[in-house]
Amino acid sequence: MEKLFIKNRKGLKVAVIVDETENQKGLVFLMHGLLGFKEQSLLIETAKIFKENNFTTVSFDTTNGIGESDGVMEELTITGYSEDLEDIINWSKLQKFYFEPFILVGHSWGGYCVGNYAADNSNIKSLILYSPVVSGASYQEIDKIKQVLKNWKESGIREWESQSNLGVVKRLKYQFIEDSLNHDLLKNAKKINCPVLIIRGDEDASVPLAPQETLFNKIVTKKEFFIIRNGDHDLEKEENLMEIHNIINKWIKD
């Protein structure tokens, strides 16, 4: 396993973890969600599953986040997230471990980004979406976002303490909301030409089920949708990870 710092298109350093495997059968990129980071349990455990099956894995911290990459949190946008994903993949194309077609894994807004990349590119083996956000419009309909949206727009910034990373105060400008409205995976779902696996928790209070079901129905390739018992948005409980391990192992072998 190797940690690297590469430059994105804006000259910002991006922290990347590459875990190469011998007798490589494939390549997997893993992407965290909004103000997440590459060491989240869900992503680490997913990477382990693929490593056990002889896949090289690539994880990274997006810029303007809370991870090890450069940037200012308040400047985060989904456009920037998508650009970082593209830059990581393009960098990987020049490395000895690069392998096509590859697998994309994304959580929450990271799920949106990898899904949208898959819609625009044909070199994807399969797509795994954890608790995906499907569009900026649907994001604004989330109860906790609707409650703060007016004040967020008036003040220009939203600030809140992370529930999963105690002591971390998250801050986003209202430009995040404005930019998010340019992003809608539902419009591109029929362009996805690889198998798609969607996984969410039955207790996910962060992203509603209905838009994900709409996305699933629009996808025209092989697809599966699993709802994990006692699972919240982050799917990090040990019982959740065990169930996900079984699902993905079967998905890989199928």
Q: Is residue 27 part of a domain?
A: yes
Helix 41-52, helix 238-253: angle, nearest 10: 40
- What is the full DSSP assignment across 39-59? T-HHHHHHHHHHHHTTEEEEE
pLDDT band at 164 (very low <50, low <70, confident <90, very high): low
Residue 167 has pLDDT above 80, yes or no: no
Residues 92-144: pLDDT tens digits? 999 999 999 999 999 999 999 999 999 999 999 999 999 999 999 999 988 88
- Residue 150 in any domain: the answer is no
- pLDDT (tens digit, 9 = 90+) per residue, 74-96? 999 999 999 999 999 999 999 99
Per the domain annotation, does 142 fall within a domain?
no
Residue 201 DSSP SS3: strand
Mean pLDDT of the chain: 95
What pLDDT score was predicted for residue 163? 64
Q: And the tokens for 27?
A: 């390549």
Name 129's bridge partners: 106, 198
What CATH number is attached to the domain comprising 68? 3.40.50.1820
pLDDT at 29 over 60: yes
Give pLDDT, residue 49: 96
Structure tokens at 12: 């910002």
Does residue 161 fall inside a structural domain? no
- Token pair for residue 26? 């494939």
pLDDT for 166 equals 57
User: Which residue range(s) make up the domain with 44?
Assistant: 2-134+184-253
Query: Can you give the pLDDT at residue 160?
Result: 86
Least confident among 27-41, 44-58, 157-171? 157-171
Q: Does any domain span residue 147?
A: no
pLDDT at 253: 83
Question: Does residue 24 fall inside a structural domain?
Answer: yes
Q: Considering the domain boundaries, does residue 174 fall inside one?
A: no
Confidence of residue 57 (pLDDT cuts 50, 70, 90): very high
- State how many domains the chain has: 1
- Asked if residue 156 is part of any domain, the answer here is no
